[in-house]
């Protein structure tokens, strides 16, 4: 049997808040990249956030994923994008 919050609503976990950087910016932890798409002159990646439900997945531009380990893993697994090899 699979756990779902609809079966046990009192057991639903709170989502973590953002990490605040030294200069006051909010950062969230990326769990994995799910998909990619070319949009206009650039690329976007569908990001799944650590400890968040799938309905919170967002399309993020490659420029906003600087030094992202999940993006490196995406490319290593033959994912497409501007830096695909």
> What digits encode the pLDDT tens for the residues 25-37?
778 889 999 999 9
| Inside any domain, residue 83 | yes
Q: Tell me which residue of 62, 57, 56 sits closest to 74, measured CA to CA.
A: 62
pTM: 0.72
| Inside any domain, residue 53 | yes
Q: Which residues pair with 61 in a beta bridge?
A: 44
Cα–Cα distance between 67 and 49 in angstroms, integer? 16
DSSP 53: -
Q: Vertex 83, ends 26 and 62: CA angle to 5°? A: 25
Residue with tokens 């030294």: 22
Question: How many structural domains compose the chain?
Answer: 1
What domain range includes position 85?
A: 25-85
Which helix (H) or strand (E) element contains residue 74? helix 69-76
Q: pLDDT of 30-62, one tens digit each?
A: 999 999 999 988 899 999 999 888 999 999 998
């Amino acid at each position: 049997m699979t756990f779902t919050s609809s079966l046990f609503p009192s057991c639903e976990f709170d989502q973590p808040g953002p990490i605040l950087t030294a200069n006051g910016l909010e950062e969230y932890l990326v769990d994995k990249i799910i998909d990619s798409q070319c949009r206009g002159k650039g690329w976007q990646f569908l990001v799944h956030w650590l400890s968040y439900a799938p309905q919170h997945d967002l399309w993020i531009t490659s420029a906003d994923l600087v030094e992202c380990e999940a993006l490196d893993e995406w490319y290593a697994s033959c994912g497409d994008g501007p830096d695909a090899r």
